[in-house]
Structure 1
Amino acid sequence: RNLLSVAYKNVIGARRASWRIVSSIEQKEEGRGNHDHVAAIRGYRGRIESELASICGGILRLLDSRLIPAAAADSKVFYLKMKGDYYRYLAEFRAGSERKDAAENTFSAYKAAQDIALAELAPTHPIRLGLALNFSVFYYEILNSADKACDLAKQVSNQDCSCYYYLFFL
């Protein structure tokens, strides 16, 4: 499970970084009025987006067809979080209705993972904490909702504090 996650994270991470850099260069060249450069950069960005979509599609199919249906509680949370992550990566570069669909799928996956995590995992469980962090990133970066991101982080922080209290004083 962890090896699969790290392998895909390495593959997707390099392309996400490339996409950010190329998008930044594209904006600078647009600002300078270099239309020939912008056209070439858009073509390259399109190729990166195709690779990102293909990688995300591959892992999402594997998660839906094999891994999530066969998983027990902590693995199910892990894989649903992973599903949310890869839909979030799609939402980062998609536009219009495709972005909206990716964002809705991200929310659904994170929410399903959160429901199981709240019922089955301790507040300090690393998978539960990672899920909360990524759900917060989703609220902040994709939905542009800093308030919801902070609320979720505070909620997790408050739960964890009460758990630490019991660890130290009981």
Structure 2
Amino acid sequence: MPLTSLSTQARTRPEREELYFIADLAGEAGRHDDVVKQIKLIVDHFGPQLTTEERSLLSIAYKNLTNSLRNSWRIIDALHKVQSARKGPNLHLIQRQRQRIESELMGVCRDIVRLLDRDLVPAASAGEETVFYSKLKGDYCRYLAELGQKREKDRNADLSLKAYRTAYKHALATLHPLHPTRLGLALNFSVFYHDIKQSPERACHLAKSALDDAVLSVDVSDPAMDQTLRDSMAILQLLKDDIILWAGEIRD
């Protein structure tokens, strides 16, 4: 290849900092699809080892995309149930809209699961990165397990459980009990047991175990502990709230 072609190719290849800047800018503007596109370009051009900042942007983008669709789906699904009970005249229109949202939501979830399986999980380093990506797979397979036909729901529930178990086993071996990623995993894994497996007992046990381990690991003599506690306090409160809620369900 001529030297001029090589230099032209080098100039046209995007800089990583430029791709990240555009992704960050898109996130600030609420353009979450654009964030995903930019991070995928980083993976394509520079490999699947993302920085903490790039990984965070990707996670937040998919979370915003799916949260919006899940909220819409819940509203339409509730209306569908009401109209079904009343045998309303517009039931087929509501059902069509619900299916459209469901299809879009499943597409987003499958997209990130493919990215995780193909690129991010195999290249993840041991420790927090592996826990983070395996947790993400568990989360989005859990969302898929809420949708679709029974066979597909069961398959995605099994995939979610496997991903959560992998993440949790790795977290117990490599992360401090107060680490936000470990606590966030415990929170979401317990929600899986409650919402998908319909087992408030197992959900409560897992959440309480994580909370107890975190409390027992607090070392007031460690000057770095204050920052760790601040980072984890919101998740600890959510774990506590869920334990109280699920314990009430068990008593009832």
TM-score (norm 2): 0.65
Deviations 1:52-111 (A, max 9, x none): 111111101100111011111211110110000000111112331111111101100000
Provide the C-alpha distance between the structure 2 equivalents of 1:93 and 1:100, rounded to a whole number of angstroms.
10
- Residue from 100, 125, 128 that aligns with 1:47: 100
Q: Distance in 2 between matches of 1:26 and 1:33?
A: 10
CA RMSD, aligned part only? 1.1
Structure (1/2) with the larger helix percentage? 1
Alignment of 1:33-112 (within 5 A): 33-34=87-88, 36-72=89-125, 73-112=127-166
Could you tell me the TM-score, scaled by structure 1's length? 0.95
1:115 corresponds in structure 2 to 169
> 1:37 and 1:152 mapped to 2: Cα distance?
43
Report how far residue 169 of structure 1 moved: 5.7
Query: Which runs of 5 or more residues in structure 2 are unaligned?
Result: 1-54, 223-252
User: Quick one: which amino acid aligns to residue 81 of structure 1?
Assistant: K
Aligned length: 167
Q: State the distance in 2 between where 1:131 and 1:152 align.
A: 11
* Residues in 2 aligned to 1:54 and 1:168: alpha-carbon distance in whole angstroms: 46
Give the ranges of 4+ consecutive aligned residues of structure 1 lying more than 6 Å apart after TM superposition.
Answer: none
AA of the residue aligned to 2:115: L
**In structure 2, how many angstroms separate the alpha carbons of the residues matched to 1:134 and 1:24?**
24
- Alignment match, 1:8: 62
Is 1:145 the counterpart of 2:164? The answer is no
Q: Tell me which amino acid in the other structure corresponds to 2:214.
A: D
Q: What amino acid is the match of 2:112?
A: I
- Percent identity between matched residues is 46
Residue aligned with 1:93, SS:
coil
Other structure's SS at 2:220 match:
helix
Q: 5+ residue gaps in structure 1?
A: none
Look up the equivalent residue of 2:130 and give its one-letter code.
K
**1:125 and 2:179 are equivalent in the alignment:** yes
The whole-number CA distance in structure 1 between the counterparts of 2:60 and 2:141 is 17
Structure number with higher relative contact order (C-alpha < 8 Å, ≥ 6 residues apart): 1
The superposition leaves residues 130-151 of structure 1 with CA deviations (integer Å, 9 ceiling, x where unpaired) of 0000000000011110000000
**Separation in 1, partners of 2:87, 2:95:** 14
Larger Rg: 2
